[in-house]
Homo-oligomer: A and B are copies of this chain.
Amino acid sequence: MNSVPPNPNSNSTVSNGGAAEPSAGSAAAPSPTFSPLYQQIKALITQSLQSGEWKPGELIPSEVELANRFKVSQGTVRKAIDELAAENLVMRKQGKGTFVSTHHEARAHFRFLRLMPDEGVPHYPESKFIEVKRMRAPADVARLLDLKSGDAVIFIKRVQSFDSLPTIVEELWLPGMTFKGLTAERLVEYKGPMYGLFESEFGTRMIRATEKIRAVCAGADDAELLHVPVNTPLLASERVSFTYGDKAVELRRGLYSTERHHYHNELN
């Protein structure tokens, strides 16, 4: 019994401190910056996602294939993919394979849209665009998007309606660099969530976002757009969305009418 091969830590493309030489038992400090193998694999897979080697909606190579490619065991790439799945970058489907997540799916639509109807089933709103223009980033926008004040940004203002009832008025700022060529026409003709368009047309996938929410009173303009009396209380949300590498690529300020809807949240 117990005659397993010495497990030479399978040298490979990736490693920690030392290059190879796993033989002796007491040499080389345990590497001050220790990073597990599966984290390195995860980073490599993430790179392939970011670079577009595997596009949203597509099937990525199987676990065994990736294990061979990276010269590690299947269990290790498995753990890497587990984390990517937990972060919604990838979706596993037993018997079929692992797919790159996409914002073109019913499942993804309510990951960022948290406004739910008080009654009835959630559904996606229709958009009406009020304004789309290129401009220079104001100081506050520049700061949140990690740009320089005065850098080119695209500004979008729209109203979203559920069952023809205007409920959300939103202003968006996007880095001009990243969204070169985004036009009002393209926005209007596009059906489905805006993040789907960003992903398909500009190769920019929203990964996560942070949101700050307040209560405010409706001003005259917004009251008119939302068909509510002036001074109606509204939810005000400020959202910054991030793509790969924690890069901020969208600032979105929304006003939500909460007459027939509420902001839904799960605390875990």
Interface residues of A (CB under 8 A from B): 86-88, 111-112, 114, 116, 208-217, 231, 233-235, 239, 256, 258, 262-268
Contact = CB atoms under 8 A, between A and B. Distances in A.
18 contacts: A87-B268, A88-B268, A111-B268, A112-B267, A114-B267, A116-B212, A210-B264, A210-B265, A210-B266, A210-B267, A211-B264, A211-B266, A212-B262, A214-B262, A215-B215, A215-B256, A231-B231, A265-B265
Nearest to A82: B82
Nearest to A267: B209
Given A208-B267, A268-B208, A262 B213 contact: yes
Contacts of A266: 208-211
User: Which of A112, A116, A210, A233 has the most C-beta atoms of chain B within 10 angstroms of its own C-beta?
Assistant: A233
A87 B213 CA distance: 25
A167 to B, nearest CB: 12
A172 to B, nearest CB: 15
A266 B263 CA distance: 13
B213 A265 contact: yes
Q: Counting chain B CB atoms within 10 Å of each CB, which of A112, A116, A266, A268 scores highest?
A: A268
A69 B215 CA distance: 53
A239 to B, nearest CB: 8
A213 B263 CA distance: 5
Nearest to A262: B212
Given A217-B233, A233-B217, A233-B233, A212 B263 contact: yes
Contacts of A267: 111-112, 114, 208-211, 239
A258 B214 contact: yes
Contacts of A212: 116, 262-265
Contact of A265 (B86, B87, B111, B211): B211
A141 to B, nearest CB: 18
